[in-house]
A and B are shown apart, each in its own frame.
Chain A
Amino acid sequence: MGEFLQFSVTGLTIGSIYAIVALGFVTIYSVTKVINLAQGEFVMLGGMIMFTFLNIGINYWISFLLTLILVMIIGWLVEWTIIRRAKGADPISLIILTIGIAIFIRGVASVVWGKGQVRIPAFSSNQSINIGPASITPQSMWVVFIMLLVVIFLYILIDKTIVGKAFQACSANPPAARLMGISPARMSSFSFTLSAGLGALAGLAVAPILFPAYDMGVMLGIKGFSAAILGGLGSAPGAVAGGLIIGFLESYGAGYISSGLKDAIAFTAILLILLIRPSGILGEKNVGKGGL
């Protein structure tokens, strides 16, 4: 029983890290139908820029805000300088462009921060909390908390505001949206800025757990992307469900079957789920309706 509890807590920790990264994929996809494969790099930038600010002695929470703003500016720049110029290209070409962006950001990061990992202090104390026989660090609980906050924020933004309606309109039918006076270009720019911000937030939340380095975006990108696909691309609650399912599968797989096979177990399960529900757990069968 004690073991089961610890495996579950670890699964929750891992799963919410994947989920929080997956939310960034979902935001861009639901507006532009582009899968931004540089999302993991935004997460990395969140961690590394925070490290730089802390290093020059800026207060923790001010650094936190500055990092968010800076990464959002980078996200906006990426959209403005590269994605926007390729206007009219089909989503596949744009996805390939984002791979290039990812490699570029990674290269620059390795020059700026070197190849080593860095340590970033946790939000609050490092003292682990015991839940019966299992233990969890406060930072893991912060990750879960921030993840829930982001989902609620996205829900309100998309379903309760005019901006959200515009998002949905652009996704469903860009020409019609334009006729209604909505600029798809501006919405695309906004979605990149927003998802860079979400990526940075994810990076800030997981950095104290993961020891970020220039290449951490690769692993997080793959896992986050898998979570987003599993949940049904375009669905924020789906991304969370997908992330948590992968986290639990990995933890139970490592705990009860074999730690060497845990990735194989997790991804076999993902394949099976996708075979049964090709559109993902919470994905809509009728693609093209748009919205998160």
Chain B
Amino acid sequence: MKKGLLVFLLMLAAVVLGACGGDSGTSEETGNEGDSPESAEAEKDAEEYVLGAIYSKTGPNSPLGEPEWNTTEMLVEQINEEGGINGVPLRVVLADDESSQEKAVQEINRLINDENVLAVLGSSGTTESLAMKGVAMQNEVPMISAAAAAQVVEPVEDSKWIFKTPQSDRLAVERIYMYLNDENISKVGLLTDSNAFGTTGLEQLENLSGEYNIEITAKESYNTQDPDMSTQLTNINSSGAEALIVWGTNPGPAIIASNLDSLGFDMPFIGSHGIANQKFIELAGEGAEGVVIPTGKALFPDQIPEGDTQYDVLNTYYEDYVATFDSEPTNFGSYGYDNLMLAVEALKNGATDRASIRDYLENEISNWVGTTGVFNLSSEDHNGLEADSLVVATVKDGEWVLMEDN
């Protein structure tokens, strides 16, 4: 018993010591920021511009983070080969948050205080970005996130230093409802994942249904790894729904598509941008045929009509990426592109300190053509995209294709 107590005390002591160590560590770092005349001078001399980028290269978010990371590396190399930004070389300090909030916070502190970066790009996921948001706000460093959820930049009053490039859920829902209006479908059944992605989607689907005269006849949910959703589909079918909207990420929607196929119900399957990948088609097989989703244009740049304002930007980027990495950039790569290029745009136009980069982004970015869409940032909108930056895609012969008439 005594021995146990002793061990416990020792452990306690170790924990306390550890915590102290941590404390002194951070205070040292903040000290660094206070007395950084050398780095400030370096900025004046403008030997190089330093940006920080945090993406989830590993961990569950790696399918998002990897193309973002690759894109950033590729673009920095391109920019420097072409002589940098107004003759000044660009350096981006890349950091991997391993899809964890704690690591994301650690890294953003390191980038801001030790690397003294002008702006932070990232992270890939919503939770990581929200964790980083506090640090960026506190240190007054501009941050451009690649996360989907609108909360990252809303409310705008509390997000003075935060911007983001991916379309918010709201835009994806609007795009689906616009499509349904075109198709004269007004009654839908919802089947949403019970995770964060599905529940925020459900919220938006409910909130916007009135605006587009859509009647929700059934609301069902499932867990991402449930083996069979036939029960929910049967209920939705008998509720009189004309179409089925599924909000989730793999593998759930693929299982639902197979179930729907085997039940033989005559409801079109409308998915979310969460399944805008080849994996979904691979899993769902024949069940995927005819599935409709809203997606960014980077899913298939070659199918975007040549007259599109984004055509050149998208295709140059797409071809470069495929040539360099021998894989598809996906929509996530396009967020990485826009994040970096927005910051570069600010630097190019003389905004070379933290405050002026923020001001430039908020005030001067209008009709800026990126790979995700055409951005119009303002003090009311730190995302700056409209629903028309999304297109409607469908599966035909095992490929995502652009819906022509939309």
Seen from chain A, the residues whose Cβ lies within 8 Å of a Cβ on chain B are 3, 6-7, 9-11, 13-14, 17, 115-117, 119, 126, 128, 135-137, 140, 206, 209-211, 213, 216, 219, 251, 254-255, 259-260, 263
Is B200 interfacial (CB 8 A cutoff)? no
Knowing A137-B262, A219-B225, the reply to whether A255 touches B255 (Cβ < 8 A) is no
Residue from A9, A119, A216, A219 in contact with B230 in the complex, judged by beta carbons closer than 8 Å: A9
In the complex, the answer to whether A211 meets B228 with C-beta atoms within 8 Å is no
In the complex, the answer to whether B234 meets A213 with C-beta atoms within 8 Å is no
Is B285 interfacial (CB 8 A cutoff)? yes
CB distance from B367 to the nearest CB of A (A): 38
In the complex, the answer to whether A211 meets B232 with C-beta atoms within 8 Å is no
| Nearest 10 CB-CB pairings of A with B | A128-B262, A211-B251, A259-B220, A10-B230, A219-B225, A117-B251, A255-B231, A260-B221, A254-B231, A6-B234
By beta carbon, the residue of chain B nearest A10 is B230
CB distance from A143 to the nearest CB of B (A): 10
Is B178 interfacial (CB 8 A cutoff)? no
Complex CA gap A213/B250 in Å reads 10
Q: Which residues of B contact A135 (CB under 8 A)?
A: 230, 262-264
In the complex, the answer to whether A6 meets B230 with C-beta atoms within 8 Å is yes
Chain B interface size, as a band, is 20 to 34
Interface of B is mostly: helix
9 new A-B contacts, CB < 8 A, other than A126-B286, A219-B225, are A3-B234, A10-B234, A119-B282, A128-B262, A137-B262, A255-B232, A259-B220, A259-B235, A260-B220
Q: Which residues of B contact A210 (CB under 8 A)?
A: 225, 227, 251, 255
Q: Which residues of A contact B285 (CB under 8 A)?
A: 119, 126
Q: Which residues of A contact B62 (CB under 8 A)?
A: 115
Complex CA gap A135/B259 in Å reads 10
Residue from B60, B231, B255, B261 in contact with A251 in the complex, judged by beta carbons closer than 8 Å: B231
In the complex, the answer to whether A211 meets B283 with C-beta atoms within 8 Å is yes
Complex CA gap A135/B223 in Å reads 22
In the complex, the answer to whether B60 meets A211 with C-beta atoms within 8 Å is no
Interface string of B366-383 (1 = CB under 8 A from A): 000000000000000000
Complex CA gap A259/B254 in Å reads 18
Complex CA gap A207/B43 in Å reads 57
In the complex, the answer to whether B228 meets A10 with C-beta atoms within 8 Å is yes
Is B279 interfacial (CB 8 A cutoff)? yes
CB distance from B193 to the nearest CB of A (A): 11
Is B222 interfacial (CB 8 A cutoff)? yes
Contacts of B235-268 to chain A: CB distance below 8 A: 235, 238, 250-251, 254-255, 261-264
Seen from chain B, the residues whose Cβ lies within 8 Å of a Cβ on chain A are 60, 62-63, 194, 220-223, 225-228, 230-232, 234-235, 238, 250-251, 254-255, 261-264, 279, 282-283, 285-286
Q: Which residues of A contact B227 (CB under 8 A)?
A: 13-14, 17, 206, 209-210
In the complex, the answer to whether B223 meets A263 with C-beta atoms within 8 Å is yes
Complex CA gap A137/B258 in Å reads 10
In the complex, the answer to whether B228 meets A7 with C-beta atoms within 8 Å is no
In the complex, the answer to whether B262 meets A117 with C-beta atoms within 8 Å is no
In the complex, the answer to whether B222 meets A259 with C-beta atoms within 8 Å is yes
Knowing A13-B227, A119-B282, the reply to whether A211 touches B254 (Cβ < 8 A) is yes
Q: Which residues of A contact B221 (CB under 8 A)?
A: 259-260
CB distance from A14 to the nearest CB of B (A): 5
Q: Which residues of A contact B255 (CB under 8 A)?
A: 209-211
Complex CA gap A9/B255 in Å reads 16
Residue from B230, B231, B279 in contact with A116 in the complex, judged by beta carbons closer than 8 Å: B279
CB distance from B195 to the nearest CB of A (A): 12
Q: Which residues of A contact B279 (CB under 8 A)?
A: 116-117
CB distance from A31 to the nearest CB of B (A): 29
Residue from A3, A115, A119 in contact with B238 in the complex, judged by beta carbons closer than 8 Å: A3
Q: Which residues of A contact B261 (CB under 8 A)?
A: 128
CB distance from B182 to the nearest CB of A (A): 29
CB distance from B376 to the nearest CB of A (A): 36
Complex CA gap A6/B229 in Å reads 11
By beta carbon, the residue of chain A nearest B286 is A126
Complex CA gap A115/B286 in Å reads 23
By beta carbon, the residue of chain A nearest B60 is A115
CB distance from A21 to the nearest CB of B (A): 11
By beta carbon, the residue of chain A nearest B282 is A119
CB distance from B99 to the nearest CB of A (A): 10
By beta carbon, the residue of chain A nearest B280 is A117
- Can you report 30 residue pairs joining A to B where beta carbons are below 8 Å apart? A3-B238, A6-B234, A6-B263, A10-B234, A116-B279, A119-B282, A119-B283, A119-B285, A126-B262, A126-B285, A128-B264, A135-B262, A135-B263, A135-B264, A137-B262, A206-B227, A209-B255, A211-B250, A211-B254, A211-B255, A216-B225, A254-B231, A255-B232, A255-B234, A255-B235, A259-B221, A259-B231, A259-B235, A260-B220, A263-B223
In the complex, the answer to whether B231 meets A7 with C-beta atoms within 8 Å is yes
CB distance from A269 to the nearest CB of B (A): 16
Complex CA gap A218/B88 in Å reads 52
Complex CA gap A164/B228 in Å reads 36
CB distance from B299 to the nearest CB of A (A): 17
Complex CA gap A116/B225 in Å reads 13
In the complex, the answer to whether B63 meets A115 with C-beta atoms within 8 Å is yes
Complex CA gap A166/B142 in Å reads 70
Among A7, A117, A209, A263, the one with the most B-chain Cβ atoms within 10 Å of its Cβ is A117
